[in-house]
Structure 1
Amino acid sequence: MFIQIIQGRCKRQDEMRALGDRWLREVAPQAPGWLGGTYGFTDDGEMIAVIRFESKDAAMANSQRPEQQAFWAEMERLYDGPVEFHDCERVVMMMDGGSDQAGFVQVIRGKLDDPDALESGMHDMETMLHEARPEIIGATFAIEDDGTFTETVAFTDEAAARRGESQAMPISGPMHDAMMQFDHMVHDVEYRDLHAPWFASRT
């Protein structure tokens, strides 16, 4: 899988949402290798799109299509300023990557020192996390070449997510050890909340 994250400030949110819906109707069905996406606005007006493709080649091929270029020209005008792109060929999924039925999404950006260690320990971590935090229904780690990662975490709903994050971490045991190991792997972490996310997937 290949993930591209697109983000930028946007005050014209209704127009952006409407244009995104039109893209899904008119362009997505013919987009090569497009798998789906997670979208939303943060409280401070940042639009975030986490878009999944089968491969980088498919994503690049899609970006060259005239239909895609025409839509992007329209979309770019709706942003308030510069737009960031983050291309990630390395993707690690937790619990199959998430769910389009999620009621709340948290996007976490940071630096990862050892992607190999994260990937090798993911199975054990997701099993323990699912037992301890059942409101988490999946996540993806999209990792750039320099170790920058974007984790997209899907929750059943925001109230359950807030209750879960307020729980005290175990002071010992496998879950404690796994969380401590993860905390030592990552740094420069930032959180962005999508209170009203929307989703799309190829049917």
Structure 2
Amino acid sequence: MFIQVIQGMCSDEPTLRGHLDRWKEDLAPGADGWLGGTYGMTDDGQFVGVVRFESREAAARSSLRPEQGAWWEEASRCFDGEVTFHDCDDAILMLDGGSDDAGFVQVIQGRVEDADRFRAFMSQPMDMLQQARPEIIGGTIAIDADGFFTETMSFRSEDEARKGEQMEMPDEMAAQFDREMEQVTDMRYLDLHHPWFATAMRR
């Protein structure tokens, strides 16, 4: 799976959401390989979009369409300043991958020294995590070529997420997590209090 992470300061969320709704309605049917997306705004006005494709090639085909270019020319006017794109070939689903019914999404970003090690850790069975943190309903993990990662964690509600943060993890899981976090730098958390979602219709 390929994930593209789109971020930028947005001064007009309603108009941007309208553009994204129009993309799903008018452009998604012709975007072969598009799987879906998770979107939201942080408290300080930053838009975060985590868009999933079957492959980098599928994403490239979609972006090269004339109608895609015309759509982005209009949508980009909703942003103040630079919009960044992180292209991540190294992307996996965690647990069930999340749900369009999630009421809260936490985005975690940072940089890892050893992407293979990080991927192996995050790809292992998550039975212990699911038992310890049942409020987590899934997520995605994407790593770009420079080791910059973006992780989404979906929850039914923010209240459940905050309560879960106070729970202690089992010793074995906590030790594994602590070891893995030793290689992570520049970590930050972006809270999407009112996320919205789009999912491709199965054919």
Say if 2:95 and 2:139, in contact at 8 Å, map to a contact too: yes
Deviates more, 1:108-117 or 1:59-68: 108-117
Contiguous gaps of at least 5 residues in structure 2? none
1:79 and 2:79 correspond:
yes
Say if 2:94 and 2:139, in contact at 8 Å, map to a contact too: yes
Say if 1:125 and 1:178, in contact at 8 Å, map to a contact too: no
1:176 and 2:174 correspond:
yes
- In the other structure, the counterpart of 2:189 is 191
Contiguous gaps of at least 5 residues in structure 1? none
Name the CA distance, whole Å, in 1 between partners of 2:105 and 2:128: 20
What number of residue pairs does the alignment pair up?
A: 201
Q: What TM-score does the superposition give when structure 2 sets the normalisation length?
A: 0.94
One-letter code of the match for 1:195? H
Q: What TM-score does the superposition give when structure 1 sets the normalisation length?
A: 0.94
Taking the TM superposition and a 5 Å limit, the aligned residue runs for 1:38-187 are 38-124=38-124, 126-170=126-170, 173-187=171-185
Name the CA distance, whole Å, in 1 between partners of 2:74 and 2:177: 43
Say if 1:39 and 1:49, in contact at 8 Å, map to a contact too: yes
Provide the aligned C-alpha RMSD in A. Answer: 1.3
One-letter code of the match for 1:4? Q
Name the CA distance, whole Å, in 1 between partners of 2:123 and 2:30: 34
Name the CA distance, whole Å, in 2 between partners of 1:183 and 1:120: 14
Q: What's the secondary structure of 1:68's corresponding residue?
A: helix
Name the CA distance, whole Å, in 1 between partners of 2:151 and 2:125: 15
Say if 2:98 and 2:137, in contact at 8 Å, map to a contact too: yes
Tell me: CA distance 1:160–1:193, structure 2 relative to 1, closer, same or farther (3 Å). same
Name the CA distance, whole Å, in 1 between partners of 2:30 and 2:82: 28
Kindly, what percent of the aligned residue pairs are identical? 52
1:95-143 Cα shifts (integer Å, max 9, x gaps):
1321111110011110112222233233546221111000111121100
Tell me: CA distance 1:123–1:63, structure 2 relative to 1, closer, same or farther (3 Å). closer
Q: What's the secondary structure of 2:48's corresponding residue?
A: strand
Q: What's the secondary structure of 1:96's corresponding residue?
A: coil
- In the other structure, the counterpart of 1:10 is 10
Q: What's the secondary structure of 2:154's corresponding residue?
A: strand
Name the CA distance, whole Å, in 2 between partners of 1:54 and 1:174: 34
1:32 and 2:37 correspond:
no
Name the CA distance, whole Å, in 2 between partners of 1:59 and 1:111: 24
Name the CA distance, whole Å, in 2 between partners of 1:49 and 1:124: 26
